[in-house]
Amino acid sequence: MSESSSVERPSTSTPRPQRPFRVKLRGSVLTLVRLPNQRQVRGTLHQLSTSGGLMHLEKPLDEKLKVEVIFHIGEATIHEHAEVMFPMWATQGWLQPFRFIELPDASANALRSSLQSLVATISPVNPGLLKT
C-alpha cells in the first residue's frame, strides 16, 4: 500500500521590486558630468528617478564608465557617482542613460522629495511628466 504525500512547492513567481517613479524633465535641468580623468561634460536631464536617469549629451560616453553626476533640482543639489549605460542617438546629440551607484539614503531622500514636489507643482498643468 503506497501513500501519496502532499508536498508544497514554493511559488515560481517572485515578486518584483517596485520600480521607482520617473519624472520627465525634457532637458529643463542642467547637469555636469565629471569623468574619471577629471574632465567635465555638460548636459541636460530628460528623465530622472531615484535609481538613475536619462541625459542629453553632445557626444556619447563609453558604456559602463563610472562618473560623477552633479545637478540641482528643487532645493537639493545632487552630487553622486553613477555608471553610464549604452547611449542612443538623438536628432541633436545623444541620450545617455545612467544609474546611480550606491546612492546614500540622505541623497535618495532629498532626490525623492524634490521629484515629488516638482510633480506636485507641475502635474496639474502637464500630467504627462510623471511616468510610472
Tens of pLDDT, residue by residue, the chain (132 residues): 545 444 555 555 666 667 777 889 988 899 999 999 999 999 999 999 999 999 999 999 999 999 999 999 988 899 999 999 999 998 889 999 999 998 999 999 999 998 888 887 765 555 555 555
Q: Go through 35-72 and write b for each residue having 16 or more CB atoms within 10 A of its CB, e for each that does not.
A: eeeeeebebbbbbbbbebbbbbbeeebeeeeebebebe
Architecture of domain 22-126: Beta Barrel (2.40)
Q: Which pLDDT belongs to residue 5?
A: 47
Q: Which three cell numbers stand for residue 39?
A: 574632465
